Amino acid sequence: MRHPCAVPRSEPEGTRQIHRQLYKHQSRSLPGTTEQGEHMTHERTASNQAALGASLQDLLAPTLELATWFLSREDELPEPELREPQAMRARLDAGLGDSGHEAAEAMEKMRAILGQTPSSSSWRFLNQLFGGRVGMASAAEMLAVLPNSSMYTLKAAGAQVLVENEVLGRMCSKVGFGSGEGSFVPGGSSANLVALLMARDRAAPGIRDSGSAGSTLIAYTSVEAHYSIPKNAGIIGLGRKNVRLVEADTEGCMIPAALEAAIEADLAAGNKPFFVNATAGTTVRGAFDPIRAIAGVAGKHGLWLHVDGALGGSMALSAEHRHLVDGSELADSFAWNPHKMMGIPLQASVILVARRGSLSASLDETADYLFQADVDEWNPGHRSVQCGRRNDAFKLWAAWYHLGDSGWDARIGRQMALARTAAAMIAVDPELELLEQPQSINVCFVVRGRSSEDVCDLLDHDGIIKIGHGQVRGRRGIRLVCVNPDLDKTTLKKILDEIKLAGRSLAVEGKKP
């Protein structure tokens, strides 16, 4: 059953350790009795190995060894030549077939794959709106694999429901939803979808049962908002064209007067405005829409106000920066992704609502084979877009219990300070041009005379840095998101040096700037 494996094994000690640990398991195997359903045993014998595989008990030690190995080298990105999928496929040779592979061999293949997986906690990983980790959250996430809870009922999930309610209650209080509630959802897009859905069902209560009919419902968001707002309008049957992209000011923040004008134009046209999304932390520029002013407009017209705080909702945890989400207590719903600024492993997203009952009004469904015990407060399945739902709360609770509110406050401060430091370094560098003073943790700039896209692609394909680009006032800039608080001035300097080097290489290579 030896499988050819072309990937060089850089850690023979690790391999031997795994073999040693699993040898115990192999040698314990006995023929056993195997008549199905008759004499099965909990032992992984040779004959039931096919159906059950190695036990987790036997795999825990090698798993720890692999984890330690991964952490020791996570600042390395995948090898550049494996940036080409076909080459990677040939090298990894991870195809599935009729026969399986011994546990030790499978663990070694996992090592090879992990070795070609970028770590989002590396200082080289700056590609997204998340990066770095809170160790306690990662530890809790690893432990949550063991009970493998589904979070629909107290009966099934036990104390994890208590943990989830604790975390949701704390988040509600931070955004000013003192009597609100919430639900974990599988991402910020889903959080925004649930908000749009609740608003739809409030504005047109007949749609949930009878489908759309009558007037055209109109949603508003800024031109700088996340793509999930129109995407979700397409999904829930409102139509992407019925999302108005309201003008933003030069800072990238929605202009309340432009919102008001758009609403009035729709009213005049016989449409029915129903929903406004204010973004707290836009995807490219990290800009914050003025929630309080927008709430005034939304309130005047009776519109549902949602705050997309997927990125910047965490500002609610910072005494110094809370003003960026000022007015959030006036909203009807609030999306917040702890997997971004709070460093919680994916997925960790919540939708919070100001009024209890809003979630179940749009999401609850009778299912007497599921909800069989306990009061609804302890059966979160009534408020969930999913049925079976993994436990995303334990890791967030663990990080919060360890760090406390004060730890989050310090973390946000550190991220914001890092962005100011990066902006200052860029501003004084003659090779670089800062496109704007950062409004939060996103720092956008260009290498003078070079295409930001080319710079980012070169850094990616050479296996140096993962970083992306976006539009700022019509110019395409490199987007450095200072979300990983493990960065420091030294790593920032290394990052900027690598970016400048890539820019110079492009010139040397004669590519068009």
Binding-site member from 292, 402, 494, 500 for a second copy (CB under 8 A) = 402
CB of 205 or CB of 299, closer to a second copy: 205
Binding-site member from 32, 100, 290, 296 for a second copy (CB under 8 A) = 100
Burial of 114 (0-12, 13-18, 19+ CB in 10 A): middle
Edge-to-edge strand list for the sheet holding 333-336: 181-185, 349-353, 333-336, 304-309, 272-279, 217-222, 243-246
Nearest-approach distance from CB 451 to a second copy, in angstroms: 12
CA distance 342 to 354: 22
Among 217, 214, 189, CA closest to 203: 217
Q: Does residue 119 bind a second copy (CB under 8 A)?
A: yes
Tell me the window of 258-266, 272-280, 321-329, 450-458 that interacts with a second copy (CB under 8 A).
Answer: 450-458
Peptide bond between residue 347 and the one before it cis (omega within 30 degrees of 0): yes
Q: Find out whether 499 and 452 touch, Cβ atoms under 8 Å.
A: no
Residues of span 351-390 touching a second copy by CB under 8 A:
362-363, 365-370, 372-374, 377-378, 385-390
Nearest-approach distance from CB 179 to a second copy, in angstroms: 18
Among 481, 67, 168, 469, CA closest to 311: 481
The structure tokens listed for 504 are: 């110079």
Binding-site member from 4, 211, 430, 510 for a second copy (CB under 8 A) = 211
Task: Kindly report the number of other CB atoms within 10 A of residue 168's CB atom.
Answer: 23
Edge-to-edge strand list for the sheet holding 125-126: 125-126, 466-472, 475-481, 442-447, 432-434
Tell me the window of 127-135, 175-183, 256-264, 494-502 that interacts with a second copy (CB under 8 A).
Answer: 127-135
CA distance 229 to 234: 9
CA distance 347 to 349: 6
User: What binding mask, one character per residue, do residues 409-448 give for a second copy by CB under 8 A, x or -?
Assistant: -xx-xx--xx-xx---------------------------
DSSP bridge pairs for 477: 470
Residues of span 132-161 touching a second copy by CB under 8 A:
133-136, 138-143, 145-150, 154-161
Residues of span 292-331 touching a second copy by CB under 8 A:
none
Rounded to an integer, what is the distance from CA 131 to the centroid of its chain? 10
CB of 125 or CB of 288, closer to a second copy: 125
CB of 17 or CB of 150, closer to a second copy: 150
Residues of span 456-475 touching a second copy by CB under 8 A:
456-457, 460-461, 466, 468-471
CB of 491 or CB of 505, closer to a second copy: 491
CA distance 223 to 225: 6
User: What binding mask, one character per residue, do residues 43-62 give for a second copy by CB under 8 A, x or -?
Assistant: -----x-xxxxxxxxxxxxx
CB of 150 or CB of 296, closer to a second copy: 150
CB of 385 or CB of 496, closer to a second copy: 385
CB of 258 or CB of 465, closer to a second copy: 465
CA distance 347 to 340: 10
Nearest-approach distance from CB 166 to a second copy, in angstroms: 6
Nearest-approach distance from CB 296 to a second copy, in angstroms: 28
Amino acid at 403: L
Q: Find out whether 205 and 216 touch, Cβ atoms under 8 Å.
A: no
Binding-site member from 347, 355, 429, 505 for a second copy (CB under 8 A) = 347
Q: Find out whether 246 and 265 touch, Cβ atoms under 8 Å.
A: no
User: Total binding residues for a second copy by CB under 8 A?
Assistant: 181
Nearest-approach distance from CB 174 to a second copy, in angstroms: 10
Q: Does residue 391 bind a second copy (CB under 8 A)?
A: yes
Nearest-approach distance from CB 331 to a second copy, in angstroms: 21
What is the CA angle 67-70-73, rounded to 5?
150
Residues of span 232-291 touching a second copy by CB under 8 A:
234-242, 283-284
CA distance 215 to 160: 43
CB of 332 or CB of 460, closer to a second copy: 460
Q: Does residue 494 bind a second copy (CB under 8 A)?
A: no
CA distance 318 to 404: 12
